[in-house]
Amino acid sequence: MAIESIERLTVQLGRLPGIGRKTAARLAYHILGVPEEQAQELAQAITDARSKVHNCPVCGTYTDGELCEICADPRRRTDVLCVVSDPRDVIAMEKTREFNGRYHVLFGALSPMEGIGPKDIKINELLERCREGEVKEVILATNPDVEGEATASYIARLLKPLGVTASRIAHGIPIGGNLEYTDEVTLAKALEGRRNL
């Protein structure tokens, strides 16, 4: 009963993150059941996204223009860079409407466990941008996990000799959070990062 093209679709869908074998089969059968145009729209959307979207040559985030909207915007400050691991983090930061500088996407974080070293992520490109002289501060907004922390301190060390200030986003209790249910590491960070009122 195994039909080769259904099997192949199931395998391909199963390569997506968080989609197991059973979910992939369910999605494959769903795709067989929807109107032909809808299936084609999905296939086309995949092809189009891959052909139209590329990395901004300056910051690395995804764009369908020559430069991304942020790098192309002359009103954004060029003296402060926010360094993130992933293009999605740029979107998350932009939603705050609190940052008016530019970005640099690393595409990953240092992880000796997974064999990801400094050359595997866009650290050299960041140093290059900093060497051009315009950048005065780099905000390290990598994730607050082991890899993100290691990446932030590694980059901070490299920025010092360039005369660029490196800062790290604050860790603490999320708004709406609860002391009782906050893990001790976060709580320790919240205490350490306390500010006078």
Residues that bind a second copy (CB under 8 A): 1, 3-6, 8-9, 11-13, 15-19, 23, 25-34, 36, 38-50, 52-53, 62-64, 68-70, 86-88, 90-91, 94, 107
Paired tokens of 129 = 């941008």
CA distance 171 to 185: 10
Q: By C-beta, is 18 or 176 nearer to a second copy?
A: 18
CA distance 82 to 138: 6
Q: By C-beta, is 34 or 170 nearer to a second copy?
A: 34
Paired tokens of 127 = 């140093």
Q: By C-beta, is 43 or 146 nearer to a second copy?
A: 43
- With CA atoms as reference, report the closest residue to 59 among 111, 135, 114, 143: 135
Least Cβ distance, residue 86 to a second copy (angstroms) = 8
Q: By C-beta, is 6 or 169 nearer to a second copy?
A: 6
